[in-house]
Amino acid sequence: MKYEVTIGGGDGEGEGRRFVVEIDGDDVFLDGRRMVARLDPVPETPLRYLEVDGRTESLAMAHDGHRWRVQMRGRVRAVGVLDERTRRLRELAGGGVKSGGSGVVKAPMPGMILRLQVERGQRVKGGGGLVVLEAMKMENEIRAPQDGVVTRIYVEPGSVVEKGAPLVELGPSS
């Protein structure tokens, strides 16, 4: 399984450092470099022991639903972890959050529209929910890739869409 890991990049920490971590059985690759690594939980605590190439560190970890808060050596860092599937879905749905742009948000996969979370003329924030799409018996919230105003809605609840079908158009939030 492949993951994109971002350390920092929140709470005024600047851009953050990105790494690709691939786990294949007992093998761990960090940006393509093989290493010996393990992360073992300490039962009934937020502590974990991280062993990398024979060195062990103690970590305190908490998840807030979006990111991990990791304390190591007295310093707390925000850590984002995206698996390959989630990363691809975000790319297909319009990528990361931008400010003040416009464009059409498209379906990242085929499925059925369960509900609309916006209406025409509504202002939305980047990352805010637009549409809920059911695919393979899972609900997938399609989010706004940037701040904007909903200028057009191409679908309605019950619509069946193909991958790449337009869902919602956003105009500048001026």
Q: Quick: pLDDT tens for 104-129.
A: 999 888 999 999 999 999 999 888 88
- pLDDT tier, 101 (very low <50, low <70, confident <90, very high otherwise): very low
In angstroms, the CA 41 to CA 58 distance is 10
pLDDT at 92 over 70: no
CB atoms within 10 A of CB 120: 11
In angstroms, the CA 139 to CA 114 distance is 8
Of the candidates 17, 40, 141, 124, the one whose C-alpha atom is nearest the C-alpha of residue 86 is 141
In angstroms, the CA 133 to CA 151 distance is 20
What is the pLDDT at residue 10? 54
- What number does CATH give the domain 2-84? 3.30.700.30
In angstroms, the CA 108 to CA 86 distance is 11
Q: Mean of the pLDDT values across residues 125-134?
A: 88
In the chain, residues under CATH classification 2.40.50.100 are 94-171
- pLDDT tier, 156 (very low <50, low <70, confident <90, very high otherwise): very high
Q: Mean of the pLDDT values across residues 75-103?
A: 66
What is the pLDDT at residue 24? 86
Please state the pTM of the whole predicted model.
0.50
Q: Mean of the pLDDT values across residues 169-174?
A: 84
Q: Which residues of 66-94 are buried (b: 16+ CB within 10 A; e: fewer)?
A: ebbbbeeeeeebbbbebeeeeeebbeebb
What is the pLDDT at residue 79? 87
In the chain, residues under CATH classification 3.30.700.30 are 2-84
CATH 2.40.50.100 holds for 94-171:
yes
In angstroms, the CA 109 to CA 86 distance is 12
Q: At 33, is the secondary structure helix, strand, or coil? A: strand
Q: How far is CA 133 from CA 6, 72, 144, in A?
A: 27, 39, 14
Q: Are 147 and 124 in contact (CB under 8 A)?
A: yes
pLDDT at 152 over 50: yes
